[in-house]
Structure 1
Amino acid sequence: MSPTGLFITLEGGDGSGKTTQAERLAEWLAGEGRTVLRTREPGGTEVGIEVREIVLHHRGDITPRAEALLYAADRAHHVATVVRPALGRGDVVIQDRYIDSSVAYQGAGRVLDPDAVRRLSEWATEGLRPDLTILLDLDADAARGRLDEARTRFDRLEAEASEFHDRVRSAYLELAAAEPERFLVIDAALPVDEIAAAIRDRVAGLL
């Protein structure tokens, strides 16, 4: 649990609609009188922007362990300088991606030990856990179709083969099944308004 505020993370494959739902949730919470901080990993700090450029857009090879370490380094700095201070003020933090992303993408996707990847990030963040994790679940082919419509350039992870994204999706669903009290799993193929309503209902119970 977060120290004082409310820590909400959004997870799911690329193209699942995390940004849209984060915006909707932030607007609703602001209307309820809550101070909201929206952030993301990597890229939520100046250091994170540089890390994001390396892990997502570097043209050369990055070994899986090096990639996992880069994400963990970004996470350590981001939590210490952005997330924990906001939670300490009583803010609601809505974050695009957190530890579950590393377990799914670097653990399952890159075929590293998921437990080792998790332990690395838990050490980096001093054990900070979300109060709620919203998993927007979407078939990899449907997600790729959305990305194809939205852009012409793909980052290193988006450009991976469908087998990679299938492993990522399966890992996310296993994580959610193991911690049903923390996760809210939503079919990302549902209408945007329906998804937003389901998220609001769950978050309302935490306020």
Structure 2
Amino acid sequence: MELDRGYLVALEGIDGTGKTTQWTLLADYLEERGLPVVRLREPTQGVWGQKIRKILSEGRGETSAEEELQWFLNDRKEDVEQNIQPALNANKVVVIDRYYYSTAAYQGALGFDPEQICAVNEAFAPRPDRVLIFHGSLEKSLERIETGRDGFSSFEKKDYLKNVQDIFSSFKGVHIRRIDSDGTVANVHRQVVAEVDDLLGIEEAR
């Protein structure tokens, strides 16, 4: 299947929703149908992304919330310039695990204005053709985090994640779709595939 332009699909939601598993499954699904796929994740493995990942694993320390937000912006600017825009220009499907809606939600829960964060990002970052926001039981997400990893990151506290989830729920737009993340992996994958098939015009029976 050839595309007449590039497409950007962002998977968003709090940790523990199974988002990253579905990111992998979606990219695999599209590649099996012969589509050119670029898999990206944010924070990236670049210089700024590594600084952010250190905060996630070790805590913020003396890093201010303002500095942290700037690191996210710096990391994304590099990602857009080096990876996202070139792939879109080459008519590929970019499937990204977290994008600027995550920054707006997580930093918004620290007291920043989520709408302003989105506006700042959209000044340089292409808006996704589809944003799949994974939403489910907070308790189930926390259970998945506990059983799937050794401890929580600095962003994974219950009250904080509830605020993050509420901000994710507030996002509106024709490009935004809600995915019920509480079902089985197969059930959630069917929801994801249906949304992306609709976007790309894939009519193959599932």
Cα displacement (A) at 1:205: 1.7
Mapping 1:11-22, distance limit 5 Å? 11-22=12-23
3-state SS of 1:193 partner: helix
Amino acid at match of 2:165: R
Contact 1:55 1:70 (C-alpha < 8 Å) held by counterparts: no
3-state SS of 2:199 partner: coil
Cα displacement (A) at 1:51: 2.9
Match of 1:156 in 2: 154
Amino acid at match of 2:159: E
Contact 2:80 2:125 (C-alpha < 8 Å) held by counterparts: no
Gaps of 5+ in 1: none
Cα displacement (A) at 1:65: 1.5
Mapping 1:27-46, distance limit 5 Å? 27-43=28-44, 45-46=45-46
3-state SS of 1:147 partner: helix
Cα displacement (A) at 1:116: 2.6
Contact 1:34 1:91 (C-alpha < 8 Å) held by counterparts: yes
3-state SS of 2:11 partner: strand
User: Residue deviations 1:13-52, cap 9 Å, x none?
Assistant: 1011111111111111011110111111102x43344233
Query: In the aligned structure 2, how far is the partner of 1:18 from the partner of 1:61?
Result: 30
Mapping 1:178-197, distance limit 5 Å? 178-179=172-173, 181-197=174-190
Match of 1:81 in 2: 82
Match of 1:139 in 2: 137
Contact 2:77 2:125 (C-alpha < 8 Å) held by counterparts: no
Contact 1:51 1:74 (C-alpha < 8 Å) held by counterparts: no
Amino acid at match of 1:97: R
Amino acid at match of 1:86: A
Match of 1:129 in 2: 127
Amino acid at match of 1:140: L
Query: In the aligned structure 2, how far is the partner of 1:67 from the partner of 1:49?
Result: 11
Query: In the aligned structure 2, how far is the partner of 1:129 from the partner of 1:19?
Result: 20
Query: In the aligned structure 2, how far is the partner of 1:74 from the partner of 1:91?
Result: 21
Seen in structure 2, the aligned counterparts of structure 1 residues 62 and 139 have a Cα distance that, compared at 3 Å, is farther
Amino acid at match of 1:150: G
- How much is the aligned-residue C-alpha RMSD, in angstroms? 1.7
Gaps of 5+ in 2: 201-206
User: Residue deviations 1:146-195, cap 9 Å, x none?
Assistant: 1111111322212x3x21111111110110xx21x211211110111111
Cα displacement (A) at 1:86: 0.8
Cα displacement (A) at 1:53: 2.8
Cα displacement (A) at 1:115: 2.6
Query: In the aligned structure 2, how far is the partner of 1:42 from the partner of 1:17?
Result: 17
